[in-house]
Structure 1
């Protein structure tokens, strides 16, 4: 019969029903391809272990083929694994798309012929080719499901299994081993509900088949939105299907379709960021702005860099200035004590030439407290009037420019440390750090114990 296009276009999944070794070929697995397609020399992921394997060869209905598609009886010759490492119930999938689970939430229909199903009842779970022991967890206040009834239920599995949204399954009781219920998986590794919280409304959305409503629910539950990989793993939809489902919502894609966000949540984060930056300006008037890394850790921990950059870029009152965030139009304005200290600090380094004093010595003579003095020093460094050569050595820009001009008159010549000391009139204490500084600027290039002026 014809295979629906959506199955063949979906993500590859092959539940394994047999695994064996064939002379001249090696390890072979067989099964009915549940979705997607697989080709010779392609790569697949073994679930639930996550191990990546290469497909040496493909057979469809016993005949060699270049590719198998959904619905076909398929045999795969796998490289880099022994048949003894494979077993019925494992699943081969497209790499990086799905994640195994130890529990799932579902819509369960108890057969009329079954006995009442109690909370905590042990059962056999069957899906695809997998069979595993499991336990039924009824959501409060229910403690028992009556024959013929339907309810939202959580199933705990004894072993990790590869599950996917809307997958059908059956439950069998232990003794006698008979089928008692069937259901549909709505969410693998379901969220933790608060005491007294009913999951019915939420699970009703997940099981509605309205993918636009499902996306809105999932994205709004995530403070920062969800990545494309997360959405695929949680819905089983392709990027094209996700784009269509999100098209009728206010949800917005970032990073060329790699991240889906809720504009209302983004606006709330922008307000928090604006408040954090404003508070920082009030508390630290001599600082240019709040550090981006600190702001991200406080406002959007765990967010990818492009998400936080988008948050700043779409905030009309904020601007990213290098590694800091500040309010637009905001400039550092020094009060008279800081202005006087700035002049003292700059003069101390300007008058010292290349034999500069220590930073604590200069700041101690600035006339203001240490905290404000360090802030004024940073302003002078950012303005370019002072130049930091090492963590502990700072020079006036005019002194560095004069030395640079002197060095450049010797372009093409070589210098050793002694010659540099003689030329600049400074001790080794300053000569080595300055030479390394000019190496970083590519004005000089170290070759052994000498420098070539480039």
Structure 2
């Protein structure tokens, strides 16, 4: 399906033309038919050869209903601009064209209607010249009369050529801007909109802007017929489960969960009035939404917009700025950044303007990482930036610099605390100002090693003199279960801090206070005790181990705690 907006003329002639093309009444309200004026959005469709099915969004032309018109053309990729032969180019035609130009619509068709009432040549020439200066450029023109039928065949052929030349709709997540919401008895809430890309399916769970819970697609219709799935570009009606009409309306959007960022602050490039001349307050029209914004000019054609309420915007989106008081389209905008940095320091605004000058609104992973240094993959996807790979993505140059800094911080920590077996990951995270400890772990590369939550330059992580002192403490002892005396530890400089460091490094196992053994002594004790008749007494265990009561008591208690032995009510023990 293809979707085309019909715009440009204020009176009922445009709707009459759509009716003649489709055999359908686009004006939904009796008031519209009574006054001969389109007030709200109308919808109709027909089949072309070639071109297939084409749907029309008939937008109002009167200046009082421009917000309604903008809600209709926002998501539509092509426009049929209608000008009456007997009236020619009108002020509302100019505002409609300004809106199409601001939104960057590049595909269109010029139709001069009511050619039975006047020569279509002057109106066609003036309108074609106006369109040529816009984003539409040079377009095909057709003169028709909905009353006599003259030119309708040529118009259908021209529409077929227009829609077959449209680019393929984008793949990716769904963002359906809602332009109508109503209730059908027995079905519940139904919303309609133009699906610009992606695919909707019955049963899908979606996010709804403004709601704090997911909603489910109960049913779909496209062009009045039920459908199990609909791909963009298409007009679609969605029957929603779990939401009332009081919770949804024009300007809301249905979204693929987790794929859009709700932002209230965006940096944009302005296509139209100079950024410095924009009023402080304007209305931003994005999709079918209209939101007041505060404007802060940054560069000659760039600005920061603070939205009155968040919208699901992405890098590269086109939207429109309008001054409702002056009935003036101030220009289109291209969204450059949906998570812009703060501007709190002196000179920050000028620096930001320089950065934005080099951005074109095309989502670019390398550029985003260069500016952000680090970013979560899912956050980038929500911004509209294609990203794959790990949870965190980094700019290569920044990552290399972090590796150098990590090595320096590990060295500095070792100098500050020589008895610790490396720097704790969390301490390094703070020193490097990183948002996640997993980033520190990912930065570790030889010769650095990560062991038990600490990063060191390898080895035991303690000074060589400490390891030598431990070796000397046990050099003169006989047997694996002999422990150096407290005075000997003190003579060798193995105080409380040094012993603790040796224990952390795996050089010692501490039984109690100053009672220490080599780390393999615990396992070897279990092997020795397994050879005793079960159960055994403390005295039998001490004799088998060839050690003193000073060592045997805390050693057996350690074996009890670790589940190697089991203490019985009579104070004897047995191996588990």
TM-score (norm 1): 0.72
- Unmatched 5+ stretches in structure 1: 141-149, 244-255
How far apart are the structure 2 equivalents of 1:180 and 1:171?
5
Q: Counterpart of 2:222?
A: 60
For 1:321 and 1:200, locate their aligned partners in 2 and report how far apart those are by CA, in whole Å.
Answer: 45
The secondary structure found in structure 2 opposite 1:296 is helix
The corresponding residue for 1:11 is 173
* Match for residue 447 of structure 2 among 317, 320, 339: 317
Q: Indicate the residue corresponding to 2:346 in structure 1.
A: 195
Q: Is the 8 A contact 1:346 1:396 kept in 2?
A: no
Q: What is the rounded CA distance, in whole Å, between the counterparts of 1:399 and 1:110 in structure 2? A: 81
Q: CA deviation at 1:334?
A: 4.0
Bigger CA radius of gyration: 2
* Greater shift in the superposed pair: 393-402 or 52-61: 393-402
Q: Which of 168, 180, 185 is 2:318 aligned to?
A: 168
Q: Give the superposed CA RMSD.
A: 4.3
Q: Is structure 2 residue 357 aligned with structure 1 residue 204?
A: yes
Equivalent position of 2:332 in the other structure: 182
- Superposition map of 1:236-255 within 5 A: 236-239=384-387
Instruction: Kindly state the Cα deviation for residue 219 of structure 1 after the two structures are TM-superposed.
Output: 1.0
Equivalent pair of 1:44/1:92 in contact (CA under 8 Å): yes
Match status 1:374 vs 2:497? yes
Aligned match of 1:153: 303
Are the equivalent residues in 1 in contact too, given 2:315–2:361 (CA < 8 A)?
A: no
Please identify, of 188-197 and 163-172, the stretch whose mean Cα deviation from structure 2 is larger: 188-197
CA distance in 1, matches of 2:459, 2:486: 31
Structure 1 residues 431, 257: CA separation in 2 closer, same or farther (over 3 Å shift)?
closer
Q: Is the 8 A contact 2:560 2:566 kept in 1?
A: no
Change (3 A) 1:50 1:202: farther
| Contact 1:46-1:52 at 8 Å conserved across structures | yes
2:412 paired residue number: 279
Residue 562 (structure 2) aligns with: 438
Aligned mate of 2:240, from 78, 83, 103: 78
Q: Give yes or no for the alignment of 1:125 onto 2:284.
A: yes
Q: Which moved more, 1:258-267 or 1:56-65?
A: 258-267
Whole-angstrom distance in 1 between the partners of 2:327 and 2:305: 18
Secondary structure of 1:16's match? strand
TM-score by length of 2: 0.58
Change (3 A) 1:301 1:208: closer
Q: Following TM superposition, by how much is the alpha carbon of 1:180 offset from its aligned partner in structure 2, in angstroms? A: 3.3
Gaps of at least 5 residues in structure 2 are 3-163, 543-548
CA deviation after TM superposition for structure 1 residue 200, in Å: 3.6
SS of 1:273's partner is helix
Q: CA–CA distance in 1 between the matches of 2:326 and 2:279? A: 18
Query: Corresponding residue for 2:517?
Result: 396
- Given that residues 27 and 77 in structure 1 are in contact (C-alpha distance below 8 angstroms), is that contact kept between their aligned partners in structure 2? yes
* Count of residues paired in the alignment: 401
Contact 2:208–2:255 (Cα < 8 Å) also in 1: yes
Match of 1:289 in 2: 422
Native 8 Å contact 1:37 1:68 kept in 2? yes
| Contact kept in structure 1, 2:276 and 2:297, CA below 8 Å | no
